Amino acid sequence: MKPTHSFIAGFTLAAFAGALWVSRPLVAAEPSAAAHAAVGASNDGTLFTAFVPVLRHPRCMNCHSKGDFPRQGDDGHRHTMNVRRGPDGHGVTAEKCSTCHQDHNLAGAHLPPGAPQWGLPPANMPMSWQGLTDALLCASIKDPKQNKGRNLDQLVEHLTEDKLVGWGWNPGEGRTPVPIPHDEFSAKVKQWQAAGAPCPAR
């Protein structure tokens, strides 16, 4: 019964190849939290890229961009009314951010959003992430010379508990919140921390 044999062998091979073909893209498309945990300190930077969409969102980038002014909207246009950074990040001369921004959002479309310490990073340490690759952004937020002397624990605390950062999840009427739920974001940041905060390759 030679023909049957080779038919079965051929079929088995085809089925096996098919299974491989199907399983590959699935694994590549959706690396689960469990998969990450299993590989542990996979120094490939995926633990960082898992939460970087939050940092790159306009709710964060509008204060973490280049230039001596904040930005507004999902298109990151320059802040209206010629608002500028000023040396300490809170504006120039008498026109401070706090003239309009309070420690909470004002209700109503196009009214000033707010959170405690509303302002830009200072001019001498602007914490600008605009134009950085994932590798450089990762290195920048970890660098005490660029992050106001924070060590890793303090950086993680800032990312997961700071009120200004937290505003990104509650940005006020008419503004899109950052894309990952807060508890999920915090878990991903802590997973990255636990693995030694690896950055993507340059």
Per-residue buried b or exposed e for 154-169, using 16+ beta carbons within 10 Å of the residue's own CB: ebbebbbeeebbebbe
Give the residue, chosen from 50, 63, 180, 189, that forms a contact with ligand HEC under the rule CB under 6 A.
63
Give the residue, chosen from 1, 29, 38, 81, that forms a contact with ligand HEC under the rule CB under 6 A.
81
179/21 Cα distance (integer angstroms): 31
* Of residues 28, 69, 26, the one with CA closest to residue 46: 28
Q: Which range binds ligand HEC by CB under 6 A, 12-20, 34-42, 111-119, 186-194?
A: 111-119
Give the residue, chosen from 91, 180, 195, 199, that forms a contact with ligand HEC under the rule CB under 6 A.
91
What would you report as the CA-atom Rg of the chain, rounded to the nearest whole angstrom? 23
- Which distant-in-sequence residues (6+ apart) come within 8 Å of 101 by Cβ? 112, 113, 114, 118
125/89 Cα distance (integer angstroms): 10
Q: Which range binds ligand HEC by CB under 6 A, 11-19, 42-50, 107-115, 194-202?
A: 107-115
Is residue 100 a contact point for ligand HEC (CB under 6 A)? yes
Binding interface with ligand HEC (CB under 6 A): 54-55, 58-60, 62-64, 70, 72-73, 79, 81, 83, 85, 89-91, 95, 97, 99-101, 110, 112-113, 118-121, 127, 141, 147-148, 155, 158-159, 164-165, 167-168, 175, 178
